[in-house]
Amino acid sequence: MFKKDLVFVLDFDGILSDGKMYYTKDGKTMKCIGCDDWDLLKELSTIIAVNVISADWRGFPITLKRVEEEMKLELDLVKGNGVERWNWIKKKYPVQEIIFMGDSFSDWYSLKNADLGITVIDALDYVKNCSDVVINRRGGDRAVAEAVLYISEKYDLFEPIQ
């Protein structure tokens, strides 16, 4: 199905968004989502599996609208602590080489155990120390695009148009 037996699993909040939650008296209404990550994720998704996860059940309808309806990528609501989230990933992708991108404390275990763990510059120092790569961008600000370019070069997946 895919050209490589890899999967790129990325947490939504703080990676594809700036990680901030916007509330009104009616509850969570918005998330700030970067726009440039989509193009490279779309290209990557034709070569390897791409799975977006979120633990934010309150903001899940917003994430669902962006990821599944607009980006046409797979999205899963994965709750639990870091170990439980990693176990879910390993159960879903038992034989693939796993690339994981996250930024929060609940992501440290997946970052540490993935074949390649990627985080963003504004992650907690502890989370950065559990990662193989720290992208020099904040979530929602082309961090995923930078990560995809890194992944593409590391695994020889595609050459961006020059």
Domain borders along the chain are 6-154
Two structure tokens written together for 71: 């980006």
User: Which of 2-11, 23-32, 50-59, 96-105 has the weakest average pLDDT?
Assistant: 23-32
CATH T-level topology, domain 6-154: Rossmann fold (3.40.50)
Residue 133 has φ and ψ, to the nearest 5°, of -135, 135
| pLDDT tens-place string over residues 44-64 | 999 999 999 999 888 888 888
Residues 6+ apart with CB under 8 A from 138: 18, 120, 121, 122
Which stretch of DSSP H or E encloses residue 45? none
| pLDDT tens-place string over residues 107-151 | 999 999 999 999 999 999 999 999 999 999 999 999 999 999 999
The pTM (predicted TM-score) of the whole model is 0.92
CA distance 15 to 142: 9
- Maximum Cα–Cα distance for the chain, whole Å? 48
Query: What pLDDT sits at residue 160?
Result: 63
CA distance 85 to 55: 9
CA distance 153 to 85: 27
